[in-house]
Structure 1
Amino acid sequence: MITRRGFTACAICAAVSSAGFLATEAGAQPSPSGTSPIKRNTLSKTDVPGGNMIAILMTVDVPAGVDVPRHTHPGIESTYVLEGEAELYVQGQPDMKLMPSGAFQVPPEVPHGIRNVAKPMKLSITYIVDKDKPLLTLAPA
């Protein structure tokens, strides 16, 4: 569970229950089955002046063959692909092939996910999100 004190980064997030997962806690989140193969490393986080937002910078490793289910965030996700290949799907946009040096942004509360992870992926992700809301909410299929 994520709290204000420890940020368990959820990047292009794994199958995680959204209950109690606040944007201000860090660590590896378990999947409903108990553990997640996705590894997250929070590099920094800081309050955004003048509001209730937080900026979170992290790296995320997604193994080959692991799909990231449809989910949303309570703010903007900006991602840069360091390694690997997969397919990004964002509601209302055409699917996008992810490759090294590629980048994308997802607006607040827009369902998105990753599928067909052909090669292990390493991502650099920045979130600007409401710090009192869950960083991740699973979206209906």
Structure 2
Amino acid sequence: MAIALILGSSAMLAAQAPRPPGSTRTDLQRHDLSIPGWETIQARVDFAPGANFPAHRHPGEEIIYVLEGILEYQLEGQPPKTLMAGDVLYVPARVIHSARNVGTTQGSELATYVVEKGKPLTEFAE
């Protein structure tokens, strides 16, 4: 699948590219791992009611913990998964996925990325 846009360079954590309307990401921490060339990034992602984050992938794993609301995730090749506060989801490296708030209140997740250092954090798919 062709990549339409590359955003979120790990070299530019503070200068994040614009996000789709209705979603915000607040970076909480970033650390090099003991494995050379790898790092972890932890962020809070908030979704307004009805907001979605389009199909994208990461250069490593994403571990999601839903903090509030009702969020639906679509991972390539799998049926949609609807999660609520306290639910978790593992997204394997480079798997195309999307997320949307299917509830009537704000939805929020704690996203932990274990990714290759120096690669763009997010690649949007066509």
TM-score with structure 1 setting the length: 0.77
SS at match of 1:56: strand
RMSD: 2.0
Say how many residue pairs are matched.
121
Q: TM-score, normalised by structure 2?
A: 0.85
Match of 2:18 in 1: 30
Q: 1:121 to 1:24 in 2, by over 3 A?
A: farther
* Native 8 Å contact 1:22 1:131 kept in 2: no
Confirm or deny: 8 A CA contact 2:101 2:107 kept in the other structure: no
CA displacement 1:52-98 (0-9 Å, x = unmatched): 11101111111111111000000000000000112111012221112
Report whether the alignment pairs 1:59 with 2:38.
no
Query: Any stretches of 5+ residues in structure 1 without a counterpart?
Result: 1-15
1:33-44 alignment to 2 at 5 Å? 36-44=21-29
The reply to whether residue 113 of structure 1 matches residue 101 of structure 2 is no
Higher RCO (C-alpha 8 Å, min separation 6)? 2
* 2:23 and 2:53 in contact (8 A); partners too: no
Q: State the Cα distance separating 1:36 from its structure 2 match.
A: 4.1
Write 1 or 2 for the structure with the bigger share of strand: 2
Which residue is equivalent to 1:136? 122
Identity of aligned residues (%): 33
State whether residues 29 and 36 of structure 1, in contact with CA within 8 Å, keep that contact through their aligned partners in structure 2: no
- SS of the counterpart of 1:123? strand
Gaps of 5+ in 2: none
* CA distance, structure 2, for counterparts of residue 125 and residue 59 of structure 1: 6
Amino acid in the other structure paired with 2:29:
S
Amino acid at match of 1:40: R
Change (3 A) 1:88 1:25: same
Judge which range, 112-121 or 78-87, deviates more: 112-121
How far apart are the structure 1 equivalents of 2:45 and 2:115? 17
CA distance in 1: counterparts of 2:10 and 2:41, whole angstroms: 8
8 A Cα contact 2:62 2:91, kept in partner: yes
